């Protein structure tokens, strides 16, 4: 029987023989209320099963007690893992977590002005989205604290951020390959010009270019293939590479998911890994461990957690210098990389 009349603070006050104000103080454990009275009131609250109306409280206090998280389609394991870290910390806090999923370009365009709105949320966490000029400006003068995770546009300098140095990660991956003796190294990545400005693939590619140059290995445009993010797409990209008259002896994939696609392509092409082809991924998601994939580890879960920490801090003390924290990357060698076969030399 859901014939429950909504029970308000006035009802409790009446039942307890005190004023609404006192009840309010009691349930917000204000110090200025007699312990006995307080206990009595709390007792009544219990008995009546009273639960304060959140909306009223929010309107009255001017705080939404919610933090908004903006994520691009969180299907992607790396994104989901970051979100996971964020949620895990937020659960302990008194804030509600409202999710805004960005799937379409239209969402993308609206969200940076609509979400960071004082009467939508007290703070905003943006995951793996790197708004550029027009949007970045909107963010900059939003009226709530904002923390970006995994966002790298220079226009974002005045915002709190936690990132990973993807250029460095790209370097580590490529250095590993070069040190193993590879000189024909392919790159399978995302499409660099993308509506959501995922920038990580670009930066990893930058690191790759740097190391090649430092090692005196000329960059070959045909060794670079970009495609939509995804396993299937990466498989196609890899096939393109493997069909080349002089195919690479190693491939650096911009993510573990893509590395799996490359792995599949290698199998389909009858190539042994790491014998005929070395493969390195990026992220170190669980899949990488399962497949024994050599990869660059980044602290996904940790980044979400840390982002929330920064946001919570900013909520306490709004006027704080923007913090930019960069998390480390680490090469994890497993069994998909090895020196090239001698007869394939440079």
Partner DNA sequence: ATGAAAGCGCTAACAG
Partner DNA sequence: CTGTTAGCGCTTTCAT
Q: Is 80 in the site for its own copies (CB under 8 A)?
A: yes
Question: For residue 184, what are the contacts with CB-CB under 8 A and spacing of at least 6?
Answer: 220, 223, 246, 247, 248, 249, 250, 340, 344, 346
Q: How far, in Å, CA of 346 to CA of 339, rounded? A: 11
Binding partner of residue 95 among its own copies, DNA, none, CB cut-off 5 to 8 Å per kind: none
Q: Nearest 5°: phi and psi at 137?
A: -65, -45
Distance of CA 109 to the CA centre of its chain: 19
Per CB under 8 A, the segment of 35-43, 79-87, 215-223, 334-342 that binds its own copies is 79-87
Q: How far apart are CA 190 and CA 141, in angstroms?
A: 31
Q: What residues from 21 to 50 belong to the interface with DNA (CB under 7 A)?
A: 21-22, 24-25, 27-28, 31-38, 50
290 binds its own copies, rule: CB under 8 A = yes
Instruction: Indicate the residue among 19 and 88 with the shorter CB distance to DNA.
Output: 19
**Edge to edge, what strands does the sheet with 224-227 contain?**
224-227, 185-190, 250-253, 278-283, 294-298, 329-332
- Three-state secondary-structure class, residue 67: strand
Binding residue for its own copies, selected from 10, 17, 39, 99, defined by CB under 8 A: 99
C-alpha angle 321/326/329, rounded to 5°? Answer: 175
Among 1, 3, 46, 62, binds DNA (CB under 7 A): 62
Binding partner selected for residue 75 from DNA, its own copies, none, CB under the kind-specific 5 to 8 Å limit: its own copies
Return the residue of 48, 56, 137, 244 that touches DNA, per CB under 7 A. Answer: 56
220 binds DNA (CB under 7 A): no
Rounded to a whole number of angstroms, the minimum distance from the CB of residue 94 to its own copies is: 13
The residue ranges that bind DNA (CB under 7 A) are: 6, 8-10, 17-22, 24-25, 27-28, 31-38, 50, 52-53, 56-57, 59-62
């Amino acid at each position: 029987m859901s014939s429950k009349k909504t029970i308000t603070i006035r009802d409790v006050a009446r039942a307890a023989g005190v004023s609404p104000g006192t009840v309010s103080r009691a349930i917000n454990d204000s110090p200025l209320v007699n312990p006995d009275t307080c206990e009595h009131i709390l007792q009544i609250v219990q008995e009546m099963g009273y639960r304060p109306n959140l909306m009223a409280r929010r309107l009255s206090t001017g705080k939404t007690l919610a933090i908004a998280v903006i994520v691009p389609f969180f299907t992607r394991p790396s994104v989901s893992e970051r979100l996971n870290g964020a949620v895990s910390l937020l659960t302990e806090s008194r804030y509600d977590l409202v999710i805004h999923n960005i799937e379409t370009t239209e969402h993308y365009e609206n969200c940076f002005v609509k979400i960071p709105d004082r009467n939508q949320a007290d703070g905003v966490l943006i995951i793996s989205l790197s708004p550029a000029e027009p949007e970045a400006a909107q963010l900059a003068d939003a009226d709530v604290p904002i923390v970006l995770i995994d966002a790298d546009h220079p226009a974002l300098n005045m915002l709190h951020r936690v990132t990973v140095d993807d250029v460095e990660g790209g370097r580590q991956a490529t250095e590993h390959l070069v040190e193993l003796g590879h000189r024909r190294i392919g790159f399978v990545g995302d499409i660099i010009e993308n509506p959501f400005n995922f920038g990580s693939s670009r930066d990893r590619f930058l690191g790759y270019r740097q190391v090649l140059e430092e090692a005196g290995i000329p960059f070959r445009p045909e060794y670079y293939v970009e495609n939509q993010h995804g396993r299937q797409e990466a498989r196609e990209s890899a096939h393109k590479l493997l069909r080349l008259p002089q195919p690479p002896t190693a491939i650096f994939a911009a993510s573990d998911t893509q590395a799996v696609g490359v792995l599949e392509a290698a199998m389909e092409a009858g190539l042994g890994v790491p014998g005929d082809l070395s493969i390195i991924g990026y992220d170190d998601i669980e899949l990488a461990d399962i497949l024994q994939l050599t990869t660059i580890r980044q602290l996904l879960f940790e980044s979400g957690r840390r982002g929330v920490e920064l946001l919570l801090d900013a909520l306490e003390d709004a006027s704080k210098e923007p913090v930019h924290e960069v998390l480390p990357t680490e090469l994890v060698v497993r069994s998909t990389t090895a020196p090239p076969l001698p007869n394939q030399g440079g």
